[in-house]
Structures are given as structure tokens and as C-alpha cells.
Amino acid sequence: MRLLIDFFPILLFFAAYKMQGIYLATGVLMAATVAQCGIVYAIDRKLQNIHKITLVLVLVFGVLTLVLQDERFIKWKPTVLYAGMAVVLGAALWGWKKNFLQMLLGSQLTLPQPVWARLTVAWIGYFLFMAAINAWFAAYQTTEQWVNFKLWGYIFPVLFIVAQGLYIARHIKDDEPRSET
């Protein structure tokens, strides 16, 4: 269910684009993101920072796209989001000596400090990769190709999360003693 909530704005964006073009799709994305945040808030009684940031960026870049009738704004929104997240994680880790990833997930996972640091560096690399690939599609490909990338490019986060899960699994401590039979 949560996965559907997370992906329905992009799926609606894609469908609206195929039916009517980038400007209708942008409006649909804006409305779907507002609805998504409303649903998440109704379920959790709070919004995570990523939901708030995404909502603000979608609305700001969406309004600019629609008012100025310039599709470049909505196409560059993911690059700004990904690059911003990489900068924040990097500044926290190397500048402030804080591991935001550990602060966010540390209550759910017990991992050694070096593993948290490597995971954060991996996330920084992932965000920079996603920012760069989106920037390339936004700058050098047609809007049709960019929209298709937005839909089929979801293979990148899936692969990253699977790889991350495999890496984490090696470092999770098993708290329950095993009985030998």
C-alpha cells in the first residue's frame, strides 16, 4: 500500500502526459503530490521531511512551469532535489560530523559506525548519480524521452535499495540465540 502511495504521483503524471502533454501532466503531478501528502498525513499524522521538501519543490517548479509555459522547470526539479539531498548528507557527514542517515534510521537498525558512514557515502553517490542522469535527460533529450526516463528510471532506486539491503544484511547483528537441533 505504501509503495502505491509513493509512486502514484509519477504514474498519474505519466498517464496525463501521454493523454495531453507536459502542462496537464505538471498540474496532475502537483495535485497528486498534494493528495499524496494528505494521505500520508492521514495515515501517519505527520509528514517526513522528504515529503515536505518534495511537495514544495513540485509546487514551486510546477507553478513556474505552468505560469511561464516552460517545461524546463519541471524537468529540472528532480535534479535540484537529488543534488540538494546529496549536499545536505555530505555537509552533515563531513562538515558537521553528523550522520543524518543514522539519525533517521538508527532506531530501526543497529549497525557499526563505519557501516553507517559507508551507507551515507553510498546515498550521496546515488543522489549525485540521479541528479546527473536527470540533468542529462532534461538538457539533452526530448520531453518525451525525459518522461519515459522518469517512468522507467525507477529501476535505479530499486536496484540501489536491493544492493543496500544486501550490504546491510551482512552487518545486522542477530540478537536471538540460535538453537541447535
C-alpha 94/C-alpha 132 separation (Å) is 22
| Predicted local confidence at residue 140, as pLDDT | 97
| Cβ–Cβ < 8 Å for 61, 53 | no
| Predicted local confidence at residue 173, as pLDDT | 66
Mean pLDDT in order along the chain per 10 residues (181 residues) = 81 94 96 95 90 93 97 95 95 94 84 92 97 97 94 89 90 58 50
Q: What pTM, to 2 d.p., does this model score?
A: 0.84
| Predicted local confidence at residue 20, as pLDDT | 95
Number of H helices, E strands in the chain: 8, 0
| Predicted local confidence at residue 176, as pLDDT | 47
SS (H, E, C) 97-123: CCCHHHHHHCCCCCCCHHHHHHHHHHH
| Predicted local confidence at residue 42, as pLDDT | 94
